[in-house]
């Protein structure tokens, strides 16, 4: 196994190498109305995006399901609430995040239960996200490069 470690950089990768940087990540702010968040989600095509405060600190995530749940009344979706309820009232805050220095396996572990993990600095300023896609892409490349060792076709 030592041979594999030295031959391929998978073991040396950090969250910083894998991440999509903040300027390319669709996000919303805590005080945005749900209507705005829904617009961002539908237009970007993503099912969930990060929520930041006015200083660009990471606060949680908001997704289409959370918005629908928030406006669900007893018998109908109360769509009028989309303009009066803000993201802060519907977002999830129990979301793990990592720092840029996190190693590949820490990212992989976090992505078992989440489709993306947010990367923040020590003061929680948002740096970007690491997606399942990025991690799977590197793993696929790693297995391909080492296919002789793993006896893959």
For the chain, the first-to-last Cα distance in angstroms comes to: 20
CB-based burial label for 43 (10 Å; 0-12, 13-18, 19+): exposed
Question: In whole angstroms, how large is the CA radius of gyration of the chain?
Answer: 19
Question: 127 by DSSP, 3-state: which?
Answer: strand
Among 12, 31, 44, 141, binds ligand 2BA (CB under 6 A): 44
- 49 is an interface residue for ligand 2BA by CB under 6 A: yes
Phi, psi for 149 (deg, rounded to 5): -65, -40
Q: Is 25 in the site for ligand 2BA (CB under 6 A)?
A: yes
Question: In the window 78-107, what residues touch ligand 2BA (CB under 6 A)?
Answer: none
Distance of CA 72 to the CA centre of its chain: 25
Q: Compare residues 18 and 71 and give the one whose CB is closer to ligand 2BA.
A: 18
Give the interface segment with ligand 2BA, choosing from 30-38, 45-53, 75-83, 90-98 (CB under 6 A): 45-53
| Residue 144 Cβ vs ligand 2BA, minimum distance, rounded to whole Å | 19
Task: Kindly list the residues in this chain that would bind ligand 2BA in the complex (CB under 6 A).
Answer: 20, 24-26, 44-49, 115-116, 129, 131-133
């Amino acid at each position: 196994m030592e041979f594999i470690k030295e031959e391929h950089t998978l073991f040396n990768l950090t969250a910083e190498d894998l991440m999509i940087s903040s300027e390319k990540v669709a996000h919303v702010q805590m005080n945005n109305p749900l209507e705005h968040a829904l617009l961002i989600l539908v237009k970007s095509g993503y099912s969930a995006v990060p929520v930041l405060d006015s200083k660009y600190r990471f606060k949680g995530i908001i997704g289409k399901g959370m918005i629908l749940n928030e406006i669900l009344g007893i018998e109908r979706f109360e769509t009028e609430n989309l303009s009066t309820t803000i993201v802060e009232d519907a977002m999830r805050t129990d979301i793990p995040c990592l720092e840029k220095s996190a190693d590949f396996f820490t990212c992989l572990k976090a992505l078992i239960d989440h489709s993306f993990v947010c990367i923040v600095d020590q003061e929680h300023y948002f740096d970007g996200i690491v997606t399942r896609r990025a991690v799977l892409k590197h793993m696929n490349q790693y297995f391909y490069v080492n296919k002789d060792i793993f006896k893959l076709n």
